[in-house]
Amino acid sequence: MTDPRMTRRRFLAALGGTAALTLWPGLSPAASGGAQTRLLVVLLRGAMDGLHLLPPSDDADYRRLRGALAVADAQPLDGHFGLHPKLSFAHGLYAQRELLPIVAVAPPYHQRSHFDAQDCLENGTAAPGGARDGWIGRCIGAMAADEGVAIAQVMPLAMRGSTRAELWSPPLPRPVPDALMQQLQPLYAADPALAPMFADAMAEADMDRSDGARGAFRLPEAMAAAAKRMQGAQAARIGFVEDTGWDTHRGQQAALERKFGELDAGLRAYREGMGGEWARSVVVVVTEFGRTAAANGSAGTDHGVGGMALLAGGAVRGGRVGGDWPGLSPTALHEGRDLRPTTDLRALFKGVLASHLRVPEAALETRIFPDSRAIRPLDGLLRG
Amino acid sequence: MNETSATAAVNRFGLGAKPGELAQARDPRGWLRAQLRAGPDLAAFAGLPDSGELLRRQNAYRQARRQDRREDRARDAPPSAPDGAPAGASTPQAAAARERSPLQQALRRDAFDDLGLRYRVAATTDAPFVERLVHFWSNHFAISIDKNQARLMAAPMEREAIRPHVTGRFADLLLAVETHPGMLLYLDNAASIGDDSMLARRAVRRQPKRKLGLNENLAREILELHTLGVNGGYAQQDVIELAKAITGWGTPLPRDAGRADGGGYVYRPVAHEPGARSVLGRRYADDGEAQGRAILRDLAVHPATARHLAFKLARHFVADAPPPALVERMAAAYLRSGGELTALYTAMIDDDAAWSDAARKFKSPQDFVVSAMRAGGIALDRNPPVLLRLLQALGQPSFTPRSPAGFPDTAADWASGDALRKRLQAAAALAGQVSAQRRPLDLAAATLGPAAAQGPLADALRRAGSPQEGFALLFSSPAFQWRV
């Protein structure tokens, strides 16, 4: 198998260097440190219900608010919280201290529009529309030579802003005939701008074959594809995966059984795909906001504010539940209806970037998360 | 001007040649100017429901859905699939939900018809320069249909607000867009309420805790993206002042759904912030709805706007890094004309810098698909869902740029190994739909110009084992990936 190579930079080089690469001044390859560490960000679009994934099982308010929707058979974690039974692989990670759920997190946007909340989470500022590019893209731009890969059909806002971020999505069902590739080879060899890309297209076609059967492409397949492109010396250091279908206004129980099963399989696929490099990996699973503390009248939940995040990986100091839990009593709720957010997601992201990727604080609080000096990075997320 | 220029006219300024088009463009500049004189094709889109009607239908659907949910609750019935379930979700509940909502099905069908027509016109028009301009302005004034409120409004906004004005005055285009329900919903102006408006004061008396107020979103994008440009010399205070001036520009409330005026646009005086405004140092008296209009008319002919529009157009048509002198000449011609778009376009096509052999653009995924449809006479528009899935798989889902800045417009944004691989796959699929009566080499010459009839591509096309293999080779060749 050929290493998938990141081509955009080479494309720019082939065009004659018209677009200069912009590096964060003063950030040398040595300063970016720990070059072997890996970060995968998983964005669950649609607002995943954290109270369903990590139910506070012993909380009378929880059972009162959720009624029949309360998760009765959660796998116990720390005596207070449990993990939904479909997350059995994740539960194993927790036992190995490689899973760290963080409760009551949200981006700084506290309204209830999916679009605006995702925009805010991805752009890394305090508001929707606050930037045209994203915090992951700016982070890659701030690192010396590291590259990113987004498993998506369109470059997500989170990863815009760097020339070293590539897109990958599964091939169309119809393979390119070998004979056609052979005929095209001399034609592309004569086009200096497109020749490197054609070489990569050939390599991708080989990888398609090694992927074997084509079928549904959901979160497990996407996370496996990310792992494939994130291991080895030439690989992308930062990955991004997105998933939809988490907006459970109705029939939440059945819908989330399926979705949690996929998330669990995705974590397993990434763990297996990374092999030995799992030890130096962090997976951050986030969503744009939480859902109403109470169940609605159609066995679902509506848009809320406080959500949750999951950190997984060999580098994570897991086996505990992180974040400040505000409780679910009527007075504790945000606007009387939603879990109150106690941690700004930017603090979580900054903590991971600072300790896992060794991004300097100056870059974090000015360029990657503009005007965020007051939002201190969470510490203690990772081992040693 | 020679045959090479005809190739440039149909590829660089058009949407890729239909067979026979190179001959029509034998006088390349004359061919382009004639299209500008004739103006946009409006007849093809007559008869589609207007945005006011679509808002009414959407409202009816939402009411029915609320009713549905109330019944669910009353019955305590087993619920149906979540709203966010992807199309084609295969749970029985999802199927039931789909069956239950004929209103929603009708809305989807309308939206597909609308998009199908857009691509049918693109694939068949005899005025591809004007059609490309429609697409350019549609992306300049991008709305993204992944924002729920704007979901139904993108193609209607293009045909109602953009298409009629692409060869007119920019001020008219700007005003039509900024008062279209699509833009007002996408950038939240429909929910922007002056802090001292009657509506806000009344709300404070009745419900002191409820927060109504100014939303700057549309005003900011008007200045940053639609007119002056990000370095156009405006300040945050200008954003706020413009936002106040356009308070009240909105859409009908559900209870006004019966109102048939204005194609879905409503001016609500009770939401308008009273008082004079000052934008870029100029004072605008409080004139209700006309106050914001006066500001937009001035912005339309501001020198920074002229430079911004000229740069984006030159980058779109000529080169990723267009010659600055060309941009300056275009901007100057625009300002001399008092804001006529045809002056801007004519300055570009009259300029030799725009016809340079060195200039070329890597086709965006949509360019690639449309040019293959035109070359091969492929009626992919007959099955809009298939066409839309293809565009999405290639990385440019219709009207879904996910940002008010629109889809990017340089090779670095579109060219990569993964993107090229998908194009090769798509080429093979597209080739299967070209009539086998055609000869690949002739098709190459008819679309890429006489140069394609010799050299390595021609040799390979001659050797192709079947017409379909030849068409696949043509569509996947490097020459077909560039607008030269």
Which of B185, B78, B45 has its CA nearest to residue A253?
A: B78
Of B78, B84, B220, the CB nearest to A245: B84
A352 and A240 in a common domain: yes
Q: What is the pLDDT of residue A55?
A: 98
pLDDT digits over B331-344, tens only? 999 999 999 999 99
Where is B92: in which H helix or E strand?
helix B92-100
- Say whether both A60 and A160 belong to one domain: yes
Do B456 and A175 count as a contact with CB atoms less than 8 A apart? no
Q: Is the dihedral of CA B59, B62, B68, B73 positive or negative?
A: negative
Shared domain for A57 and A117, answered yes or no, is: yes
Same-domain status, A297 and A353: yes
- How far, rounded to the nearest angstrom, does the alpha carbon of residue A339 sit from its chain's CA centroid? 22
**Cβ neighbours of A180 in B, within 8 Å:** 424, 428, 469, 472-473, 476
Q: A250, B476: Cβ pair inside 8 Å? A: no
- Give residue B436's pLDDT: 86
Q: Measure the CA–CA gap between B422 and B396, rounded to whole angstroms.
A: 12
Q: Is the pLDDT of residue A167 over 50?
A: yes
Chain B from 92 to 131: CB within 8 A of any A CB: 93
Do the Cβ atoms of B217 and A166 come within 8 Å?
no
- Per CB-CB distance under 8 Å, the chain B contacts of A244 are 84, 86
pLDDT attached to residue B71: 74
Nearest-CA neighbor of B398 among B137, B116, B185? B116
Q: Are residues A106 and A205 in the same domain?
A: no
Mean local confidence (pLDDT), A323-340:
96
Q: Do A119 and A145 have their domain in common?
A: yes
SS3 A45: coil
How many CB atoms neighbour CB B143 within 10 A? 26
For residue range A235-291, list pLDDT tens digits in order.
Answer: 999 999 999 989 998 899 999 999 999 999 999 999 999 999 999 999 999 999 999
Q: How many residues does chain B have?
A: 484
Q: What are phi and psi of A304, to 5 degrees?
A: -125, -150
Helix/strand/coil (H, E, C) string of A167-226?
Answer: EECCCCCCCCCHHHHHHHHHHHHCCCCCHHHHHHHHHHHHHHHHHCCCCCCCHHHHHHHH
User: Lowest-pLDDT range, A9-13, A348-352, B417-421?
Assistant: A9-13
A108-149: pLDDT as tens digits: 999 888 889 999 999 999 999 899 899 999 999 998 888 999
User: What is the domain extent for residue A202?
Assistant: 178-213
Asked if this assembly's ipTM is beyond 0.90, the reply is no
- Residue A115 shares a structural domain with residue A162: yes
Q: Which residue of B has its CA nearest to A157?
A: B402
Kindly state whether residue A236 falls inside one of the protein's structural domains. yes
- Could you read off the pLDDT of B175-222 as tens digits, one per residue? 999 999 999 999 989 999 999 999 999 988 887 766 678 989 999 999
Best of A7, A18, A151, A172 to disrupt the B interface (most B CBs within 10 Å) is: A172
The distance of B455 to chain A (nearest Cα, Å) reads 10
CA distance A201 to A297: 50
The domain total for chain A is 2
Flag whether A346 is in a domain.
Answer: yes
Point out the domain boundary residue: A162, A190, A213. Answer: A213
> Rounded to whole angstroms, how far apart are CA atoms B292 and B241?
10
Stretch A59-81: mean pLDDT, rounded? 95
- Rounded Cα–Cα distance for residues B131 and B123 (Å): 10
User: No. of H helices and E strands in chain B?
Assistant: 24, 6
Q: Does residue A382 sit within a domain?
A: no
Among the partner-chain residues B393, B405, B412, the one whose CB lies closest to the CB of A172 is B393
**Is A325 inside a domain boundary?**
yes
Alpha helix locations (H) across B125-249?
128-140, 154-157, 170-178, 181-186, 198-206, 217-221, 236-245
Helix pair angle (B384-393, B417-431), 10° resolution: 150
Predicted local distance difference test score (pLDDT) of residue B91: 41
Q: Which parts of chain B have pLDDT scores under 70?
A: 1-4, 72-100, 209-211, 257-262
B429 to chain A, minimum CA–CA distance in Å?
7
Parallel, antiparallel, or unpaired: how do β-strands A148-151 and A238-243 relate?
Answer: parallel
B396 reaches A (C-beta below 8 A): yes
Which member of B416, B465, B479 has the closest CB to residue A166? B416
Average pLDDT over residues A82-110: 98
Same domain, A188 and A223: no
Give the closest residue to A113 by CA, choosing from B239, B146, B218, B190.
B146
Task: Spell out where chain A has E strands.
Answer: 38-44, 75-76, 82-83, 99-106, 148-151, 165-168, 238-243, 281-287, 307-312, 343-344
Whether A364 has a pLDDT exceeding 90, the answer reads yes
Closest CA to A137 of A163, A100, A172, A102: A163
Q: Assess whether A243 and A308 both reside in one domain.
A: yes
Read off the pLDDT band of A297 (50, 70, 90): confident
Residue A251 inside a domain? The answer is yes
For residue A35, how far is the Cα from the chain centroid?
19
- Are A62 and A142 in a shared domain? yes
Looking at the predicted structure, is the pLDDT value of residue A29 above 60?
Answer: no
Distance of CA B347 to the CA centre of its chain: 23
In this prediction the pTM is 0.86
Task: Let me know if residue A186 belongs to a domain.
Answer: yes
| pLDDT confidence of residue B257 | 60
Looking at per-residue pLDDT, the higher value among A172 and A259 belongs to: A259
pLDDT tens track for A115-125? 899 999 999 99
pLDDT at B77: 46
pLDDT exceeds cutoff 80 at A2: no
Q: What's the confidence (pLDDT) of residue B259?
A: 60
Measured distance CA(B349)–CA(B10) in Å, rounded: 12
Residue A301 belongs to some domain of the structure: yes
Which of B425, B319, B449 has the alpha carbon at shortest distance from B375?
A: B449
Residue A367's pLDDT is 95
Choosing among A250, A258, A334, which should be mutated to test the B contact, i.e. which has the most B CBs within 10 A? A250
Distance CA B105, CA B89 (A): 15
Residues 6+ apart with CB under 8 A from B256: B266
CA distance B335 to chain A (A): 29
Would residue A298 count as lying in a domain?
A: yes
Question: Does residue B289 sit in helix, strand or coil?
Answer: helix
Q: Give B227→chain A minimum CA distance, Å.
A: 17
- pLDDT at residue A213 greater than cutoff 80: no
Task: Please determine, for residue A293, whether its predicted confidence score (pLDDT) is greater than 70.
Answer: yes
Residue among A7, A115, A250 minimizing CB distance to B79: A250
- CATH number of the domain within which A80 lies: 3.40.720
pLDDT score of A215 more than 70: no
Own/partner pairs, A21-26, CB within 8 angstroms, 24+ separation: A21/A163, A21/A164, A22/A141, A23/A141, A23/A142, A23/A144, A24/A141, A24/A142, A24/A143, A24/A363, A24/A367
Cβ–Cβ under 8 Å, residues B156 and B51: yes
Count chain A–chain B contacts defined by CB atoms under 8 A: 187
Q: Give how far A381 is from chain B: nearest CA, Å.
A: 32
Residue B424, amino acid: L
- The C-alpha of A193 sits at a distance from chain B's nearest C-alpha, in angstroms, of 10
Q: Is B73 exposed, middle or buried (0-12, 13-18, 19+ CB in 10 A)?
A: middle
| Probe site for chain B from A12, A154, A229, A258 (most B CB atoms < 10 A) | A154
Q: What is the rounded average pLDDT of the residues A167-175?
A: 86
List Cβ neighbours of B40 (8 Å cut-off, separation of 6 or more). B127, B130, B131, B134, B163, B164, B166, B167
According to the model, what pLDDT value does residue B358 have? Answer: 84
Nearest to B428 among A19, A156, A180 (CB): A180
Kindly state whether residues A240 and A322 are assigned to the same domain. yes
Same domain, A194 and A305: no
Q: How far apart are the C-alpha atoms of A180 and B113, rounded to whole Å?
A: 35
